Amino acid sequence: MSASVSTASSPLYAIVLAAGQGTRMRSRKAKVLHKVLGRTMVDCSLSLLAPLGVTQTALVLGHQAVDVEAAVRASGIAVPGLTVAIQAEQRGTADAVRSALPVLPALATGGGRVLILYGDTPLLTVERLAELLQKTTGKLGMISTTLLDPFGYGRLVRKDGRAHKIVEHKDCTPEELAVCEVNAGIYVVDAAFLVDSLTRVGQSHATHEFYLTTLVELAAASGEEVAVISAPADEVMGVNDRLDLATAESIFRTRILRSHMQAGVTIHDPATTFIEPGVVLGRDCELYTGVSLRGKTRIGEGCVIDQGCVLTDVTVEAGTHIKPYTVAAQSHIGPRCQVGPFSHLRPDSRLHEEAHVGNFVELKKTELGKKSKANHLAYLGDSTIGSEVNIGCGTITCNYDGFAKHQTIIEDGVFVGSDSQLVAPVRLGAGSIIGAGTTVTRDVPAGALAVTRVPQDNKLEAADKLRARFRARKAKS
């Protein structure tokens, strides 16, 4: 969803709580920095805000705050008006929200609404939050879910069908423990009501923490009807350990695959196909077993991505066939190309229309022109290669002299014979031919033939004499 939910007269703020350590992850890394399909959990939450029309965001951090902030700012996620607040001591969700108030001074004026999210709910959707914002017409709205086994969760207690209060599991009576509707912890709150209510939240008798759930009881006590939106349990699940993380990734992956298949992509084996959320696929693409598409990869219409391919931040134009077990990163592959099998395109490689890169060919910072071919066992680094060039098997560009990288330029229509070494910096002129086994150390003029191999000398009957000598030596030993 891209339509903004807020308006100029009613600004929408966001507070994202991500201060916890996540001890059950058993990790030296902050919990919210663990990834689900290539995206950190905190980024999953932050990515929801801009489409909703949020104007300012407070990210509440505590454990490894410096590392988490650095990762968020380096991720490229567009976070509206991002500021960081610190919760020095984890004393509950209400205390965490209270720590965000100094970095959102506009809340003190009482205008607008505040969306409160968490940094460990990676499966939450823009659509669900938009529904919450739309249906909350009073001071408070929340998301609930129903669990068959609600152990450990705060129960939503209703009175005459309306939300009355939320009771944490440790504080529940036996009757309240029987309730299966639980709090998902996601709220939209009138700014003035939030600021006022935070001054009235007391400590839990059982845990001595300050719980944001008190807002529901305060709103109900003032005669407000709390809007409650129900969501599927998996959509609002919080990730607490590695098992949860794997479960979340499986659900997220299935959701993404289903979306692509419904849009006209053939995925032959969804169980082994991994597509990250930033990937774009055109209609009539085919993905085979074991394909992994990562980052900002863009695949054009009618492409075939064959078995075992791994593409990261790669653009592939329409009609191209990426053959099995190709690995490519940060590269651009033009229309109707053929790449692979077992090819490796390292960053800043670019293939033009109908170019071919074949078995065990590696490119790095190399441009391969229209209809040019490097079909077998070659390394092409720091090179600019023109159109209709043939690169023979075993050819390498010697681009590194031990101190610096140098360019190889191959102009249109050049034929490079097998097992040639092109010692950069060097230029091969248009239409030139490089004989097989040649080591090129200086420029080759256009239309010239370059050959450096030693002249062949056929010694008659020498092969039989040599074999006889070897046999005698072997018998003697």
Query: Which amino acids are annotated catalytic?
Result: 376
Distance in angstroms (rounded) separating the CA atoms of residues 99 and 105 = 12
Joined together, the tokens standing for residue 228 give: 């409650």
Whole-number Cα distances in Å, 28 to 34, 67, 136, 210, 221: 11, 12, 39, 27, 43
Residue type (1 letter), 41: M
Interacting residues of 235 by C-beta distance below 8 A, sequence separation 6+: 123, 124, 125, 128, 145
SS3 16: strand
Joined together, the tokens standing for residue 244 give: 């949860």
SS3 114: strand
Beta strand residue intervals within 6-139, DSSP E: 12-18, 35-36, 39-40, 56-61, 82-86, 113-118
Angle CA 119–122–125, to nearest 5: 110
Q: How far apart are the first and last CA of the chain?
A: 81
Tell me the sheet residues that pair with 309. Answer: none
Distance in angstroms (rounded) separating the CA atoms of residues 85 and 62 = 8
